[in-house]
Amino acid sequence: MSTTTATMGSTRKATKPGKAPRRWFKWIILGPILLVLLVQLYFFLMVCWYAYVDPSSTSFMRQQLSELRETNPDAKLKHQWVPYEAISVNLKRAVVASEDSRFAAHGGVDWEALEAAYERNNRRSKVVGGGSTITQQLAKNLFLSGSRSYLRKGQEMVIAFMLETVMSKRRILEVYLNVVEYGRGVFGAEAAARHYFRTSSAKLSPAQAARLAVMLPNPRYYDKHRSTSYLARRTALIQRRMRFADLP
């Protein structure tokens, strides 16, 4: 009897270590999921914060400042926050007309624009446009990087939906116009107006506003090449479209 009991006891003890691998396997599965959820919670809390507090810097700003200080330790960005009312309606209309004509209507992602961009890229066998909305661009500028990957694009969409849920369209456009890149070390409408036209963002003319809007997809290039024929043609086109742009 005692021998049998001892044998059964040793068998039970021998099986206990087998639970440890199962426990580790569970955390291998759950750990990444919990990490992703925590990251999303962080983004959501930051979006809630920016709904009421003006961001002093963004992921894009910090990245570029770090690059500039590699060659000049004293480098500073050109950036000055101005309220929505102090930004020319010309620039608001121009940016919407150029970057996101359905801004006032979509919920953060313009699926029609994405499909059109996908077909256009396939025809040319290269990426010529991403179909990102103003909200998606803001998500990228605030929190992400300029790298191109499906993972980054997916995260951008998630944050875009957060922005549309928490912020009004007016607030989204206000933050976007104040943080978007307009050239190397130049961020926001006020800094752009002073950098290119030596005026305030409130006094931008329709032509000036249209030119700034056209520069947005590649601002560092157009900062150095300000008189290209494409820039002139596209500026004239956006100026004609501005009166049709719906603002929040």
Contact status, residue 34 vs residue 158, Cβ threshold 8 Å:
no
Query: 57-244 is classed in which CATH architecture?
Result: Orthogonal Bundle (1.10)
Report domain extents, the chain: 1-50, 57-244
Q: What is the pLDDT along the chain (248 residues), one digit of tens a residue?
A: 444 444 444 444 444 555 666 777 676 777 788 888 999 999 999 999 999 999 999 999 999 999 999 999 999 999 999 999 999 999 999 999 999 999 999 998 888 877 776 676 666 655 555 679 999 999 999 999 877 788 888 999 999 999 999 999 999 999 999 999 999 999 999 999 999 999 999 999 999 999 999 999 999 999 999 999 999 999 999 999 999 999 98
Overall residue count recorded for the chain in this entry: 248
User: For residue 117, with 0-12 CB atoms within 10 Å meaning exposed, 13-18 middle and 19 or more buried, which class applies?
Assistant: middle
Q: Find, among 90, 191, 95, 84, the residue nearest to 135 by Cα.
A: 95
Q: Find, among 71, 248, 225, the residue nearest to 172 by Cα.
A: 248
Angle between the N-to-C axes of helices 206-215 and 189-197, in degrees from 0 to 180, rounded to the nearest 10: 110
pTM confidence score = 0.85
